[in-house]
Amino acid sequence: MTHGALAAADHGEHEHPSEQKYIKIAIILTIITAIEVAIYYIDWMHDSGALVPALFILSIGKFLTVIGYYMHLKFDSPLFRYMFIAALVGSLAVIGALIALLRVHTIDFGPGGFIS
Amino acid sequence: MAQAVATLETAHGGGESHIGGADHSGHPPTSTGLDSRKIAMWAFLASDCMFFGSLIAMYMIYRGEAERLYQAGQGIGPLPHEILDIPYTSISAFVLLMSSLTMVLALASIQKGNVRGLRIWLGATALLGAVFLGGQFFEFTEFKHEGLGLTTNIFGSSFFTLTGFHGAHVTIGVIWLMSLLIMSLRGGVRKDQALNVEIAGLYWHFVDIVWIVIFTLVYLIPYDEISTITHEAEGALRQIGLG
Amino acid sequence: MASIAQPQVMAQPITKPATGLWSWLTTVDHKRIGIMYGVTAFLFLLLGGVEALIIRTQLARPNLDVVSAARYNELFTMHGTTMIFLALMPMSVAFFNYVMPLQIGARDVAFPRLNAYSYWIFLGGGIILNLSWFFHAAPNAGWYGYAPLTSTSWNPGRNVDFWLIGLQVLGVASMLAAFNMIVTVINMRAPGMTMMRMPIFSWTTLIVSILLVMAFPAITAALILLAFDRYAGTGFYEYAAGGDPLLWQHLFWVFGHPEVYILVLPAFGIVSEIIPVFSRKPLFGYSVMVYATCAIAFLGFGVWAHHMFTVGMGPTANAVFAGSTMLIAIPTGVKIFNWLGTMVKGSLRFTTAMLFAVGLVSQFVIGGLSGVMHASPPVDSQQNDTYFIIAHFHYVLFGGTVFGLMAGTYFWFPKITGRLLDERLGKWNFWMAFVGFNATFFPMHFVGLAGMPRRYFTYSEDSGWGPWNLFITIGAFVLATSFLVFIINVVKTLRNGEVASDDPWDAATIEWATSSPPPVYNFASIPEITHRDQLWWDKYGDHGAGSGVERKAPAPKEQVDPSSIHLPNPSYFPLVSAFGFFILALGMLIDNPVLTIGLLHLPILVPIGGLIMVVAIYAWAFEPAG
């Protein structure tokens, strides 16, 4: 994080997308949301176990689109990108660990089964 | 609570000038060339990630507990799959998503000096936010009507807490946008103050992405399927001799 | 980027600081706020110390009855809470506030009024916690507040409510201060002050603030859930309701372990400034020191469950957290060796500040080593909940943090007040603290390993712990006396102490380039930074600090007319808004009279406080900032 590099990157106008682009992105986001809801009503998705991974991928796509374009992380100073991504990854790691620790601590090692 | 106050703090937009502007005895504007308030907002959002992260972790840890207790004859309903209304919430999610669009349009307007555009889109964003909140209020009263309150079971507790704190964030956002709108109507937001709108926008989009996560984790991932997965995992583990 | 109301009012010319109570209540000067943090925190430190002395008196002999068991619970809870949240953390923040902007060559922090707001909220939180004594409801569930000790069924009084509301308020104050510090370090550095030229103390300010904003949300969320459990009757931590008491422990320690580094890293930063100055050598391995600090902060988020080895997380989790905990010893060890490497072949001057700094290095190593011991789950199973743990974390938090903060106080006191603390009394202060501290806490290793459990209000005659406990209590009083010596030293110095020059220690960093005490605007002209240890470079050039060869004095920079320097206006809105917040928080604890709006029953203080808070924030937003 040197002076020069950041300062050079951030003087002047950022290259923000145009209004048309914003509207296009909104249409894409709407379509993804519609797909999410639609696949929820397809039995096959439930039965095959594909629903949850599909929902994860779709919502991660929406998430990244909003932070990248609407919050300008894709165009703005790298400092903001580092700050937010670091916080996001850190939070995800802690959440993941918490869920793993607390959902598994009820392990029943007896003959009854693995997760009680 | 920390979040609410911190947000209100940053919400005052124009008020907090920072030391060392370009005209102050040759001090450079800032070390990075970036505005201090924008860095502060991103730092706040980073911190808020951890706040919602903790609440989401809590929700996911307790997901399925109400069903387990119910099956064991120790808990009471209503259970999530009986009460969550996906078509209704899809519309809420859509409304919030569209409010993100109107928010960026408000910013794009003022960056071009279009004050009228700013007012229209700010108003639209606040309106869509209010519609979302109205939807949430109606959803909550409907649940209450069907017998699910904050203390009914662990599902009710974790559901109302997680979505309620998201709603509180939206409420603060709507108040903030309304304040900006009033400031603009009094001639207070010009092109060179687009940053005030940009910072409010960052907050608003963040609230939107939190809802993207909540919509998926709380509403869309089916509650029965979770237990199916658990059984499959159990079977798989048993096959490799760990069970 | 111009602010809305900026140009309307010109700031008053600042040639000398304003005086009087009102000027302190409305101040937005980082130096004054730093002093207020320091003084308030020291008073809370004395309060926490008195609580500790009562605890030690109770434990001096077996079966004593100085306080009741219930009172004892309150005392150890409030001792821990006070020391951590009201004494050590704000004392570190005092140094962040006073020293960091001077070190990086800024005129103030990034958001001066927010800075004042943080202080007033902190004060309100401290008052709320201690008001509990007057309501006969002092917190009594330990500073860690484990569920179900905090549940309404086991703890029906207001005790835990005071604790959770107080901590919530203090959390807001800490987070607001931390946002301010982060932005200040990133954005307010003097020209030429790159990150890798920045003094280590300013680096630790940044890292600790990042830890704060990432760690506090976890306890905020945990406390919110606890508040729902207590106020609304949910069952987040109730096993019977489908909740899990362990969720509290996990969320608490997700915050609580980074908190340990929040407490100790500022002290590390302070001694990293002091040891080079009194060794007349640049810090050994500056960049490694920076990376080690970052590594400690990063790893600090991955070790929390080592506080929970005995709850039965299973072998995998225990092994993972044992491994990550032991890993953290590596960057910590790197720091120790860097300090030692700085001292090697230096021309050492053992001033009081240096003695405390070296004291930290030696005492923290003891705490670190016992920490590595119970990083191993089997060992921890033996030591958990015994006095061995008490010994360990007091070596870290007293031998580490307090010694470091004392070192910083002796070091920067001349800069802050313009007078040098008395060295003879200072040496008495140090040696009494050193001896008293070790007499108090070293024997706790022995009674801990002998099985004496922590938190018990007394012990039996035939346990055999009596003699050591008497010894410990005597040590505690010696330690307390050392603080008396410190107070005498401060009072004496303020009255007629030796007047300090601008740079009494021949120091390395630019806060010593301005006058003692610094003017309101810090520097008449902002220094240009070309080197690490800029002031040494200015004084000695390539010859280096230890050489004694002075460089030809650089041509004095043109002096800016101080009255042309633009500083923020004082403001009373931070105080008013913080007062509103205080009233709101108090409303959560005093539920009479009640205001009823439809279905909503609110203690009347909540809406009143909230209204004051919000109105003041809006007034502040539209106030000309200057």
Cα–Cα distance between C97 and C95 in angstroms, integer? 5
Cβ pair A90:C214 closer than 8 A = yes
pLDDT at C214: 95
C574-621 per-position pLDDT tens digit: 999 999 999 999 999 988 788 888 777 888 999 999 999 999 999 998
Angle subtended at Cα C307 by Cα C303 and Cα C311, rounded to the nearest 5 degrees = 120
pLDDT at B27: 40
What part of A 52-111 touches B (C-beta under 8 Å)?
52, 55-56, 58-59, 62-63, 66-67, 69-71, 77, 79-80, 83-84, 86-88, 90-92, 94-95, 98-99, 102-103
pLDDT at B241: 52
C374-391 per-position pLDDT tens digit: 999 999 999 999 999 999
For residue C420, list its beta bridge partners.
Answer: C498
Average pLDDT over residues B143-156: 92
Cβ pair B40:C4 closer than 8 A = no
- Find how far residue C228's CA is from the centre of its chain: 29
Cβ pair B53:A92 closer than 8 A = yes
CA proximity to C185, closest of C225, C212, C221: C212
Percent helix, strand, coil in chain B (nearest 5)?
75, 0, 25
Token pair belonging to B207: 């609230």
Q: What is the ipTM of this complex?
A: 0.93
pLDDT at C593: 80
Cβ neighbour number for residue C316 with a 10 Å cutoff: 12
SS3 annotation, C128-183 = HHHHCCCCCCCCCCCCCCCCCCCCCCCCCCCHHHHHHHHHHHHHHHHHHHHHHHHH
Average pLDDT over residues A5-28: 69
pLDDT at B193: 87
Cα maximum dimension of chain B: 74
CA proximity to C405, closest of C264, C602, C566, C238: C264
In chain C, what are the domain boundaries?
A: 20-570
Structure confidence at residue C556 as a pLDDT band (50, 70, 90):
low
Cβ pair B14:C4 closer than 8 A = yes
Cα–Cα distance between C350 and C279 in angstroms, integer? 9
**pLDDT over threshold 60, residue B26:** no
Q: Which amino acid is at B156?
A: G
Question: Phi/psi at C127 (nearest 5 deg)?
Answer: -65, -45
Cα–Cα distance between C568 and C180 in angstroms, integer? 15
pLDDT at C72: 97
Lowest mean pLDDT among B230-239, C90-99, C147-156, C422-431: B230-239
Judged by a CB distance cut-off of 8 A, whether residue A27 touches chain B is no
CA distance B146 to chain A (A): 24
pLDDT more than 70, % of chain C: 96
pLDDT at B178: 95
Q: Which amino acid is at C297?
A: A
Residue numbers in B near C580 (CB within 8 A): none
Please name the residue that has the structure tokens 């409801």.
C137
Average pLDDT over residues C264-274: 97
User: Measured between CB atoms, which of C194, C214, C313 is closest to A3?
Assistant: C194
Name which residue leads in pLDDT, B208 or C559.
Answer: B208
To the question of domain C20-570 being in CATH 3.30.70.360, the answer is: no
3-state secondary structure of C107: coil
Nearest CA in chain C to A109: C314
Residue numbers in B near A25 (CB within 8 A): 101
Domain containing B200: what range? 2-11+30-222
Q: For an interface test with B, which of C209, C234, C606 has the most B Cβ atoms less than 10 Å from its Cβ?
A: C234
Give me the DSSP letters along C279-340: HTSPPTTHHHHHHHHHHHHHHGGG-GGGGGGGG---HHHHHHHHHHHHHTHHHHHHHHHHHH
B44 falls within a domain: yes
Q: Which amino acid is at B102?
A: T
Cβ pair A101:C305 closer than 8 A = yes
Name which residue leads in pLDDT, A8 or C530.
Answer: C530
**pLDDT over threshold 80, residue C241:** yes
Q: Provide the sign of the torsion angle of the four alpha carbons A28, A29, A30, A33, taken in this order.
A: positive
Judged by a CB distance cut-off of 8 A, whether residue A90 touches chain C is yes
pLDDT at C503: 94
B238 falls within a domain: no
- Asked whether C173 and B16 are in contact (CB, 8 A), the reply is no
Judged by a CB distance cut-off of 8 A, whether residue C365 touches chain A is no
The residues, any chain, with a CB within 8 Å of residue B225's CB and separated by 6 or more, are A46, A49, A51, A52
In chain A, what are the domain boundaries?
A: 18-75, 77-116
Name which residue leads in pLDDT, C556 or B169.
Answer: B169
pLDDT at A18: 85
Name which residue leads in pLDDT, C217 or B20.
Answer: C217
Judged by a CB distance cut-off of 8 A, whether residue C312 touches chain A is yes
**pLDDT over threshold 80, residue B56:** yes
Cα–Cα distance between B70 and B68 in angstroms, integer? 5
Q: For an interface test with B, which of A18, A25, A37 has the most B Cβ atoms less than 10 Å from its Cβ?
A: A37
Name which residue leads in pLDDT, C272 or C315.
Answer: C272
pLDDT at C616: 95
Cβ neighbour number for residue C15 with a 10 Å cutoff: 12
**pLDDT over threshold 70, residue B167:** yes
Token pair belonging to B72: 């064991």
Preceding peptide of C315 cis, ω within 30° = no
**pLDDT over threshold 90, residue C5:** no
**HSE-up of C490 (CA within 13 Å, CB side)?**
14
Cβ pair B21:C2 closer than 8 A = yes
Q: For an interface test with C, which of B7, B31, B151, B199 has the most C Cβ atoms less than 10 Å from its Cβ?
A: B31
DSSP at A12: S
Cβ pair C620:B12 closer than 8 A = yes
Nearest CA in chain A to B51: A91
pLDDT at C625: 64
Query: Which chains have 3 or more CB–CB distances shorter than 8 Å to chain A?
Result: B, C
Q: Which long-range contacts does C516-519 make (Cβ < 8 Å, 24+ apart)?
A: C516/C414, C516/C415, C516/C416, C516/C417, C516/C418, C517/C31, C517/C415, C517/C416, C517/C417, C517/C418, C518/C31, C518/C102, C518/C415, C519/C17, C519/C562
- Find how far residue A42's CA is from the centre of its chain: 24
Q: For an interface test with B, which of C3, C115, C573 has the most B Cβ atoms less than 10 Å from its Cβ?
A: C3
CA proximity to C34, closest of C462, C518, C425: C518
Judged by a CB distance cut-off of 8 A, whether residue A102 touches chain C is yes
pLDDT at C623: 78
- In the structure, how many helices (H) and strands (E) does chain C have? 20, 4
Residue numbers in A near B201 (CB within 8 A): 70-71
Structure confidence at residue B137 as a pLDDT band (50, 70, 90):
very high
- Computed over every residue of chain C, the mean pLDDT equals 92
Token pair belonging to B157: 């507790």
**HSE-up of C417 (CA within 13 Å, CB side)?**
21
pLDDT at C566: 80
Dihedral (Cα; C161, C163, C165, C166), 10-degree rounding: 150
Average pLDDT over residues B16-35: 56
Residue numbers in C near B153 (CB within 8 A): 241-242
CA distance B120 to chain A (A): 15
Cα–Cα distance between C532 and C525 in angstroms, integer? 19
Cβ pair A6:B87 closer than 8 A = no
Total tally of structural domains belonging to chain B: 1
Nearest CA in chain A to C301: A94
Nearest CA in chain C to B158: C236
**pLDDT over threshold 90, residue C547:** no
Assign residue B64 the CATH number of its domain. 1.20.120.80
Percent helix, strand, coil in chain A (nearest 5)?
70, 0, 25
Nearest CA in chain B to A61: B212
A43-80 per-position pLDDT tens digit: 898 888 899 999 999 999 999 999 999 999 998 999 99
Name which residue leads in pLDDT, C543 or C568.
Answer: C568
C281-333 per-position pLDDT tens digit: 999 999 999 999 999 999 999 999 999 999 888 888 999 999 999 999 999 99
pLDDT at B217: 94
**pLDDT over threshold 60, residue A13:** no
**pLDDT over threshold 70, residue C562:** yes
Structure confidence at residue B233 as a pLDDT band (50, 70, 90):
low
Cα–Cα distance between B170 and B207 in angstroms, integer? 7
